[in-house]
Structure 1
């Protein structure tokens, strides 16, 4: 079962749309989705988010609230494990929206198609369009929740075929990826790669040594290119340091991630910036380096 959320603003508890794609016996069996009225107090639609997904406050006036939407999500899930592309984001939406509405979290088990893709293919970017392209899937409607959920499902199906298995348990075990889960008691664990070559979990020089070591950017050297829409470069550098990352001005052999702000929606075949071309050359020479767009950057800052 694949799931994708879009949010009204930078707060994770502001879901404004959800899309779901059900997979049975290796085939897409059903899809479902709805617009959502975000919880009270979190209904401001940020222009940056609107530019990403095109949903406005007027679109959700008659949409179900979070309590009703979550009931439908759980019913459609029907006990199946969930898959999301960058599951850290989508699962945090569920937790934060429940917290905002004073509700218990649902009991869920989940994994991440982005984490699986990293173990399956060697790509310049692990954004959903790049992963869908690697999976041989036609995908042109990124940030439509329903389309994103279906693309995530297709990526996982392609990864299963690549691993020559039909079992998600077998796929995750083979790639040393743990299941994530959340409980009604307010406990949760993320779905992460647990292999021997995982990124060292220690802060870099000048980074916050007290940052969350499970954060998506903790321990990474991050370079920016282009002008961010959501914050100044100085603000981005300060925020990176706060989450345990090391900001950098240039792409070098120590760079882990390049944020390409000039390309708000990275897609295969795009004309790359100079820094992105350098990142691509480093990738081809064997370095582990990734290019992400601004939306993905903002998601990872809080994962």
Structure 2
């Protein structure tokens, strides 16, 4: 066994889309067990501040743009995986105040409750142990301890370098546990309420590869794009409960690899999805032992919903039939069994009525759902052919009706009745013989004056632009003359005139830039 068996931790690095800490766009992870880096990962994230929040400065630093993260998971999913790791191992970051602040700010922006985790700061440790270093930046520390860091600000490489530097410091200090490096413990909680706690020895009885909850972060699923998801097997048994269903998994499912679950769904004829869409019919709530909170509509519970759960409830409230399952119920259904509980139909909550799980005999039919949405009842001979005779089939007390509550006769690619919108129409006059024109219904024509520029204003702006450009050129000449005068005063050693000359030169330079910019804009019309 390694002499550093107590060096178990997770190194973290976060990159942001702009100056806001909530704009996390990439998370780097390095898992360390017994003083060895056993896995690293870089996860691109859709910034909670939006895809349009990338600044040119930050793009130049880490090279990530909106195009790179448009298919990436939302922050809610990535934060959940980070919390799984942080609940079992301390998180180490170089300048942990930034990374912890970014995590908590992104959670606040996404409407997610930040979880208390222990954060250890490599920057603080280096300053405390090695005051002789001229700097304590990550590249300087990496060079000092012989750690390779080829691309600084790449989240994965920074996380790995942070991990390897910490291991090198531990070896240099001759310590075997993190608690010996941070005897006062790390920071726990939000920046406003952060407190110190003593570090405790990390359990090391089981190897990293035997811990599926940690390994899910590094699984193939995190790298799979929506277009590369496993496809439903054409020859699958149509009587399987998940055949033809569009299934989304939110949260860990009993520690199982998510990509393998997707493959299993596809094998039985289902359609695994990365995110909730208008086709989704099944939501697996892996973080919940029961579904009472998810279907209650309680605002306090909604705060802790994942992004997928929140989106599914919104679609369900709009009339889309979606069934939620716990992880245990989903595994039973995946195996072709009938779960006795753990399955509920999402939908509207009746005011003043406490929500309960739908009983089998009360499960709404496709015709009832279509009628509620404003469409005609579905004839018996117009049901989907791929139902496999499963319409109305129930599973114990779970009200699990595999196909009867799906999209029914509505085309998979077309809008549903409650999603159709009629074009707005307005009253427009129409000629009617020689008398006054009565009003008739019709599409309102676009105004003939709309968008027509005022020619006089355009000409005036162009003339003013030419004048402003001439003034700008004059200011440029004055700037050049001022520079020459400053040089002359410097040679003469007259500091007072130098200060005045620099100030006037700067003023003329700024005026010339502003005038030239404004003039070009006006001259272009």
If the length of structure 2 is used for normalisation, what is the TM-score?
Answer: 0.34
Aligned to 1:276: none
Distance 1:189 1:41, change over 3 A: farther
Counterpart of 1:57?
66
- Mapping of 1:171-210 within 5 angstroms? 171-173=181-183, 178-182=185-189, 187-189=193-195
Q: Which has the larger radius of gyration?
A: 2
Hey, what does 1:23 align to over in structure 2? 32
- Separation of aligned partners in 2, 1:76 and 1:172: 20
Shift of 1:26: 0.9
Question: Which protein has the bigger helix share?
Answer: 2
* CA shift digits 1:63-106 (9 cap, x unpaired): 11110111122234451000000101000001100111111112
Which stretches in structure 1 are left out of the alignment for 5+ residues? 192-303
- Cα deviation for residue 107 of structure 1 reads 2.3
Q: 1:72 to 1:108 in 2, by over 3 A?
A: same
Uncovered stretches (5+) of structure 2, i.e. residues with no partner = 1-9, 198-525
Tell which has more relative contact order, 1 or 2 (C-alpha 8 A, sep 6+). Answer: 1
| C-alpha distance in 2 between matches for 1:39 and 1:109 | 23
* Cα separation, 1, equivalents of 2:174 and 2:122: 16
Contact kept, 8 Å, 1:85 with 1:113, in 2: the verdict is yes
- 2:143 aligned to 130, 133, 146, which one? 133
Aligned length: 187
Listed one character per residue, the Cα deviations across residues 139-175 of structure 1 (whole Å, up to 9, x for unaligned) are 11100000000000011111111211011111112xx
1:37 to 35, 46, 58: 46
Q: TM-score, normalized by length of structure 1?
A: 0.58
Q: Secondary structure at the match of 1:157?
A: helix
Pairwise mapping of residues 54-203 of structure 1 onto structure 2 (< 5 A)?
54-77=63-86, 79-121=88-130, 122-173=132-183, 178-182=185-189, 187-189=193-195
Give the conservation status (yes or no) of the 8 Å contact 1:111–1:180: yes
- Cα distance, 1:25–1:71 mapped onto 2, change above 3 Å: same
Report the alpha carbon displacement of residue 42 of structure 1 after superposing the two structures with TM. 7.3
After superposition, the CA RMSD in angstroms is 2.1
Decide which moves more: 120-129 or 51-60: 120-129
Q: Distance in 2 between matches of 1:9 and 1:40?
A: 9
When you count strand as a share of all residues, which structure comes out higher?
Answer: 1
Q: Kindly tell me: are residues 33 and 26 of structure 1, through their superposed partners in 2, closer, same or farther at Cα, counting changes over 3 Å?
A: same
Q: Please give the alpha-carbon distance, in whole angstroms, between the structure 2 residues aligned to 1:103 and 1:15.
A: 14
Distance 1:120 1:133, change over 3 A: farther
SS in 2 for 1:6: strand
CA contact (8 A) 1:21 1:149 kept: yes
Secondary structure at the aligned position of 1:94 is classed as helix
- Are the counterparts in 1 of residues 86 and 118 from structure 2 also a CA contact under 8 Å? no
Residues 1:51 and 1:74: Cα distance change in structure 2 (over 3 Å)? same
Q: Distance in 1 between matches of 2:196 and 2:36?
A: 26
Structure 2 CA distance, aligned partners of 1:44 and 1:117? 34
Whether the 8 Å contact between 1:16 and 1:60 is mirrored in structure 2 is: yes
* Aligned counterparts of 1:86 and 1:92: Cα–Cα separation in 2: 10
In structure 1, how many angstroms separate the alpha carbons of the residues matched to 2:49 and 2:88? 29
